[in-house]
Amino acid sequence: MKKRLKIKDIVLIVLILAVAAGSWLLHEALGSAGSGVAVVRVDGAIEGTYPLNEDREVSINGGTNILRIRNGRAKMIEADCPDQLCVDQRAVSADNESIICLPNRVIVEIQSRQESEYDAVTN
Ligand SMILES: [Zn+2]
């Protein structure tokens, strides 16, 4: 009888942890997928800012680079640069992650909308 109760307790604790972890993961997924923007810079100047929660393809720098935003992530899918390093880079979604195309002077940087809060905490 004692043993059965103990197992029940463990099951209960595991269930509570699973629910907590699940809601945390859900919160994280929703937060990271919907809260960021991709800032596109060409030669240092901001050419455009695009929310990660809207799927689209963006023609950058008059078409030298094509950025695809899908499922909360940004990825360079086409570029006319000789090294193709930017196309080889993995999709970015987290704050301060970036894709850089040096030959075309294109920088795509992810910025979280909670940046001001983040700054307030660190300063
Ligand atoms: Zn490139």
Query: Which range of residues forms the domain containing residue 11?
Result: 1-31
Residue 2, token pair as written in the block: 């004692």
Model confidence, pTM: 0.66
Whether 119 is in a domain gets the answer: no
Q: Distance from the CA of 12 to the center of ligand 1, in angstroms? A: 53
Asked if residue 75 lies in contact with residue 91, where contact means CB atoms within 8 angstroms, the answer is: yes
Q: Distance from the CA of 27 to the center of ligand 1, in angstroms? A: 34
Q: Give pLDDT tens digits along the chain (123 positions).
A: 566 678 899 999 999 999 999 988 877 666 554 579 999 999 999 999 999 999 999 999 999 999 999 999 999 999 999 999 999 999 999 999 999 999 999 999 999 865 444 444 444
Whether 78 is in a domain gets the answer: yes
Burial class (CB in 10 A: 0-12, 13-18, 19+), 29: exposed
Whether 123 is in a domain gets the answer: no
CATH number at residue 45: 2.60.320.10
Residue 66, token pair as written in the block: 């094509």
Gap between the Cα atoms of 44 and 93, Å rounded: 21
Q: Count how many domains the chain has.
A: 2
Q: Distance from the CA of 96 to the center of ligand 1, in angstroms? A: 19
User: Are 42 and 102 found together in one domain?
Assistant: yes
Chain length of the chain: 123
User: Are 27 and 40 found together in one domain?
Assistant: no
User: Which residues have a beta carbon within 5 Å of ligand 1, which is an ion?
Assistant: 79, 81, 86, 101
Q: Distance from the CA of 92 to the center of ligand 1, in angstroms? A: 15
User: Are 103 and 77 found together in one domain?
Assistant: yes
Q: For residue 95, give the nearest of 27, 42, 25, 38 by alpha carbon.
A: 38
Whether 117 is in a domain gets the answer: no
User: Are 44 and 103 found together in one domain?
Assistant: yes
